[in-house]
Amino acid sequence: MDTAAITHTTVRHRSKSRAPRAILVHHQALLADVIAVALSDSEAINLVARTQVLSEVSELASQAEVEIVLLHDGVARRDALRLVHELYRRDQSVQVVVLGVTDSGSILDYIEAGACAYTTQGTTRDELERTVRQLRRGTPLCTLAVAGRICRRIERGTHGHAPPTTGAAHLTRRERQVLALLKSGLTNKEIASELEISSFTVKNHVHHILTKLAVRSREEVLTAGDTK
């Protein structure tokens, strides 16, 4: 048999099914087959396609008019998050359910990217079906613990306590302007007047700059970072 001719993408249709149409994205073809068999008679999930290839998902979702993408967490994380974000940005009627998540940090990353629900390792078919039904009804699907962590992460982001990147190359245009004025010896009040923004906003920018440049004081800023 010519293995080059084998594809792990399959599509099927159930014209009479009222269940939401779904795609399964799984990095292991054998386990994808097992899941497909388990869902073959499901009244909650109409699995119409499955694939290992992330670049196929958007096109398949459009062609098969799917409403649910079942994305296994075993797929390369960075690529998976990029896919979730792309699907969310292109069509928010397509809902992503992440399967087999192992830790709350991963859950937060997926939710921030645009995922609507998740299951953990060991989830049964009945539990997955219940998750999808709740999702379609608009029922919140986060545990209280995860919801609390989401709120804390949002709060940290709002107050600028945890910027995701560091280094002068990651300064925003405004932060570079503030940095240049800092190096000119201006105070926060003088920078606010120069840029026509509030002193509070300047203070936030300075905090971001200190964190991104990995320094602890304004004095250290004078010898760190490139404003060009």
pLDDT of residue 158: 47
Asked if 209 and 165 touch (Cβ cutoff 8 Å), the reply is: no
Is there a single domain that holds both residue 23 and residue 96? yes
- CATH code for the domain in which residue 203 is found: 1.10.10.10
pLDDT of residue 96: 93
Taking residues 156-172, what's their average pLDDT? 54
pLDDT at 204 over 50: yes
Is there a single domain that holds both residue 73 and residue 33? yes
The structure tokens 């998976």 sit at 80
Is there a single domain that holds both residue 142 and residue 198? no
Confidence of residue 124 (pLDDT cuts 50, 70, 90): very high
Answer yes or no: is 138 within a domain. yes
Among 106, 132, 154, the domain-final residue is 154
Is there a single domain that holds both residue 20 and residue 72? yes
Is there a single domain that holds both residue 122 and residue 192? no
Domain count, the chain: 2
Confidence of residue 57 (pLDDT cuts 50, 70, 90): very high
Answer yes or no: is 35 within a domain. yes
For 34, the token pair is: 């097992």
Find the range with the poorest average confidence among 32-46, 87-101, 200-214.
200-214
CA distances from 156 to 81, 208, 212, 215 (A): 21, 12, 15, 19
Is there a single domain that holds both residue 30 and residue 136? yes
Asked if 176 and 226 touch (Cβ cutoff 8 Å), the reply is: no
Is there a single domain that holds both residue 149 and residue 176? no
pLDDT at 130 over 80: yes
pLDDT of residue 145: 61
Residues 6+ apart with CB under 8 A from 127: 119
Is there a single domain that holds both residue 99 and residue 175? no
Find the range with the poorest average confidence among 5-9, 48-52, 168-172.
5-9
Is there a single domain that holds both residue 101 and residue 143? yes
Is there a single domain that holds both residue 181 and residue 212? yes
Determine the structural domain holding residue 205 and report its residue range. Answer: 168-221
Output the average pLDDT for the chain: 79
pLDDT at 6 over 60: no
Q: Which among 60, 74, 81 has a CA at the least distance from the CA of 11?
A: 60
